[in-house]
């Protein structure tokens, strides 16, 4: 079973729809037992870092996420919350990735909204994905580049379009909104062998 973590961030139904379109059963849940039993976990999110972390801490969901051993995929705000700190609301985050999350300098239109290409791909998450395939982004904050970066995107500056550490995967872009390319990436995640 695929479990999508339910918390106070939007975009959850879109992710559920996308997983179901790929033929996988999935539930949206904040139930600890259900999450611990899942084969794969998706940690989505559109929203604000400070209020999201507060919500997770109050329910001890931060500890739960850190304890997970199965493959976890953070999406958008999910990736940012998996970093150590976000400038958004000066928020201490989960600290899975050794990266800070910063606001784009206003040198171009912000949010970074639309289709942009990935490069420097290095993960089984991107099997079958080309160096210049486009995916859909919408965000005003970005995770800096670290050794955990598995895909880069350039907008104003190069940033982490995807990250991985052990069983934790994350994308800044929305695979569930990235047409066929996004479906392939989501399918690669869902097919990871534990």
Please give the positions annotated as active site.
Answer: 76, 174, 176
Q: Binding segment for another protein among 35-43, 52-60, 84-92, 137-145 (CB under 8 A)?
A: 137-145
Q: DSSP alpha helices (H): ranges in the chain?
A: 12-21, 32-37, 49-58, 61-66, 77-81, 179-190
To another protein, the closest distance from the beta carbon of 165 in angstroms equals 27
State which of residues 60, 113, 131, 157 lies at the interface with another protein (CB under 8 A).
113
Query: Looking only at residues 10 through 29 of this chain, which bind another protein when binding is defined by CB under 8 A?
Result: 10, 13-14, 17-18, 20-21
- CA separation for the pair 25, 15 (Å, rounded): 12
Tell me how far apart the terminal alpha carbons of the chain are, to the nearest angstrom: 13
The neighbouring-strand residues paired with 171 are 75, 162
State which of residues 91, 164, 172, 178 lies at the interface with another protein (CB under 8 A).
178
From 124, 168, 120, 126, select the one nearest 145 (Cα to Cα): 120
- Please report, as ranges, the residues that interact with another protein according to CB under 8 A: 10, 13-14, 17-18, 20-21, 46-48, 106, 109-117, 134, 136, 138-140, 154-155, 174, 176-180, 182-183
């Amino acid at each position: 079973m695929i479990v999508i973590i339910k918390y106070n961030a939007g975009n959850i139904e879109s992710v559920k729809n996308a997983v179901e379109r790929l033929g996988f059963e999935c539930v949206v849940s904040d139930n600890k037992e259900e999450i611990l039993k899942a084969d794969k976990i998706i940690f989505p999110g559109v929203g604000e870092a400070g209020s999201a972390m507060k919500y997770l801490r109050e329910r001890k969901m931060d500890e739960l996420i850190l304890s997970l051993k199965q493959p976890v995929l953070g999406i958008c705000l999910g990736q940012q919350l998996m970093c150590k700190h976000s400038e958004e609301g000066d928020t201490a985050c989960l600290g899975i990735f050794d990266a800070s999350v910063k606001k784009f300098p206003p040198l171009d239109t912000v949010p970074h909204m639309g289709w942009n290409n990935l490069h420097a791909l290095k993960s089984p998450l991107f099997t079958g994905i080309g160096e210049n395939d486009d995916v859909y982004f919408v965000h005003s904050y970005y995770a800096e580049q670290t050794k955990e970066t598995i895909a880069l995107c350039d907008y104003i500056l190069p940033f982490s379009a995807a990250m991985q550490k052990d069983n934790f995967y994350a994308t800044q872009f929305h695979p569930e909104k990235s047409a066929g390319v996004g479906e392939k990436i989501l399918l690669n995640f869902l097919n990871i062998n534990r």
